[in-house]
Chains A and B, each alone.
Chain A
Amino acid sequence: MKKIKLSVALLSLAGGLVACTPMQKSSAEYDKLTAEALKSFHSKGIAKVERLQQDDSNRLCSQADVAGQPLDAATAKSIEEANFKAIQWPSDGKFLGDWKVGNKIAASGKGMTWKSKTTSNNGGNCYNCHQITKEEVSYGTLGPSLYNFGKLRGVTDPNSPAAKAMVEYTWGKIWNARAYNACSSMPRAGHNGVLTEDQVRHLVALLLDPKSPVNQ
């Protein structure tokens, strides 16, 4: 009887050791293993392995996602500030382009994959995630509806001083969404070089021009 008890005690002690040692890898150790696994990607066409290098904004948001906890307010604020500083405002001061061209850019999801020939003339991918006009029923729901975007925000004349703040916000949000929401899922279209200044101008018009189908 005593013998059995002792061996049970020894077993549980050994079990405890076995259970504890390998299971307690730190998060940093898993990060290291992840970095190793990332070596199993290779460059193809224009999609080079350098794309796997995260900037601070992506690194911090990914960490928060893994932890299942939102970023603390101070970190979120610093990400937003850094991204806001990086926004390129229109070089000629013109924020508004042609909404018709904008609608075509919004509908296109092409560009920047390893099958794409060039890094220019990319689509905005907007309809993939947003409702935009009433006419287009094939829209995604990952982002909020943008139907009546300008109208709901009281923009009747985007060239008026009253609309200035909203025009700038719209530009800034498309250029670098993380300037306004640290871990937004929205691509930083201008910041990451997916869309040009001219393309962003057309998208701003799509959202704010009173004649655009967005605001009908």
Chain B
Amino acid sequence: MKKHLVLLAFAATTAVSGAKADSIAAGIAEYRAMLQDGNPAELFEMSGEELWTTPRGPKNATLEKCDLGKGPGVVAGAFVELPRYFADTGRVQDLESRLLTCMETLQGFDSDKIAKTSYNKGEQANLRDLATYVAGQSRELRFNVPQGHEKERDMYEVGKRLFYLRSGTHDFSCNTCHGEKGKRIRLQDLPVLSSNPGDGIGFAAWPAYRVGNGQMWTMQKRLNDCYRQQRFPEPDFAGDATIALGVYMGVNAKGAMSIAPAIKR
């Protein structure tokens, strides 16, 4: 922890003394590279792995038979092929949505109740750790989100339309900030998400540990906060809008290497 604070101070000094944005960005990149040696996301991964194999919930069962798309219990490589269509639910589901299904069917949890729980609280915190663990089991694999099923193709088209939907008090769409290369909000670099942003960027980086607020964020939480800043109403947790956006970004990122769980500013 002390090491992190020192590094933070270092990054702040660099930011102040270097007048040019370039040197600030370089300072942040260096700071991130150093933190890469000890990404706190690993703690959440370890917690998730333990949750995966611990009997829990009203049915006192583990998640070891959970089918994330590659068959019951297969975790390795599942993340980079999500969201995908699941015949048992008849829905296209992303990682968090699918984990909710498994927590309900295998362990007997009430998925609606979990979906309505605040982020980082109760079973939402456990779900976050599970998502972090599952994502970590696809580290350095390349995205290959399927488009074979009609509903998967439908969700891509819906996601595309949501991405470009301008509305709310500020007329913002996702595309307002994520449609052009090399743009920033203040000093924050913005990934292009309407095409393939490359290895470890955008969809290929979340879940991620955020140094700024010391929190582990899943993709669902990432999208939730985007919509807050977009001045939209709140998307339902694991609702179709966020899943469709996941399909859109995931398919666009085909071939990009996942670095999730990543570390972020």
Q: Does A pair with B?
A: yes
B55-104 interface (Cβ within 8 A of A):
none
B172 CB–A CB distance under 8 Å: yes
Residue pair A188, B171 in contact (C-beta under 8 Å): yes
**Most chain A CB neighbours (cut-off 10 Å) among B19, B158, B227, B242:** B158
Given A40-B235, A128-B185, A140-B185, is A192 in contact with B162 using a C-beta cutoff of 8 Å?
A: no
How distant is the Cα of A61 from the Cα of B176 in the complex, in angstroms? 12
CB closest residue in chain B, given A52 = B167
A-B contact count (CB 8 A): 143
Q: Which of A49, A65, A125, A137 contacts B233 (CB 8 A)?
A: A49
Q: Within 8 Å CB of B20, what residues of A?
A: 137
Q: How many residues does chain B have at the interface if contact means C-beta atoms less than 8 Å apart? A: 48
Question: Measured between alpha carbons, how far is A23 from B162 in the docked complex, in Å?
Answer: 20
From A88-96, A112-120, A150-158, A205-213, the one touching the partner chain is A112-120
Give the interface segment out of A25-33, A70-78, A98-106. Answer: A25-33
With a cutoff of 8 Å between Cβ atoms, the chain A residues found around residue B173 in the complex are: 62, 65
Q: Would you call the interface of chain B mostly helix, strand, loop, or mixed? A: mixed
Q: Which of chain B's residues have a CB closer than 8 A to the CB of A142?
A: 176-177, 180, 183-185, 190
**Which parts of B195-248 form the interface with A (CB within 8 Å)?**
227-229, 231-236, 239-242, 244
Residue in contact with B232 in the complex, picked from A31, A51, A66, A193, CB distance below 8 Å: A51
Task: Judge whether B1 is part of the interface by a CB distance below 8 angstroms.
Answer: no
Question: What residue of chain B has the Cβ atom nearest to residue A116's Cβ?
Answer: B231
B161 contacts which chain A residues (CB < 8 A)?
30-31, 34, 62, 66
- Residue of B170, B173, B188 ringed by the most chain A CB atoms within 10 A: B170
Does A163 reach chain B (CB closer than 8 Å)? no
Q: CA of A137 to CA of B161 in the docked complex: distance in angstroms?
A: 35
- Within the complex, what minimum Cβ distance (angstroms) separates B198 from chain A? 19
Interface residues of A in 160-205 (CB under 8 A from B): 178, 185-188, 192-194
| A residues near B190, Cβ cutoff 8 Å | 142
Residues of chain B contacted by A23 (CB below 8 angstroms) = 150, 153
B10 within 8 A of A: no
> B165 in the interface, Cβ–Cβ < 8 Å?
yes
Q: How far is the CB of A189 from chain B (nearest CB, A)?
A: 8
B232 to chain A, nearest CB (A): 6
Asked if residues A115 and B228 are in contact (CB atoms below 8 Å), the reply is: yes
A-side contacts of B228, CB under 8 Å: 47, 113-115
Closest CB-CB distance, B222 to chain A, in whole Å? 16
- B177 cross-chain contacts in A, Cβ below 8 A: 142
Query: For the complex, is B6 an interface residue (Cβ under 8 Å from A)?
Result: no
* Chain B CB within 8 A of A38 CB: yes
Cα–Cα distance between A92 and B166 once the two chains are bound (Å): 33
B binding-site residues for A, Cβ under 8 Å: 19-21, 24, 150, 153-154, 157-158, 160-162, 164-173, 175-177, 180, 182-188, 190, 227-229, 231-236, 239-242, 244
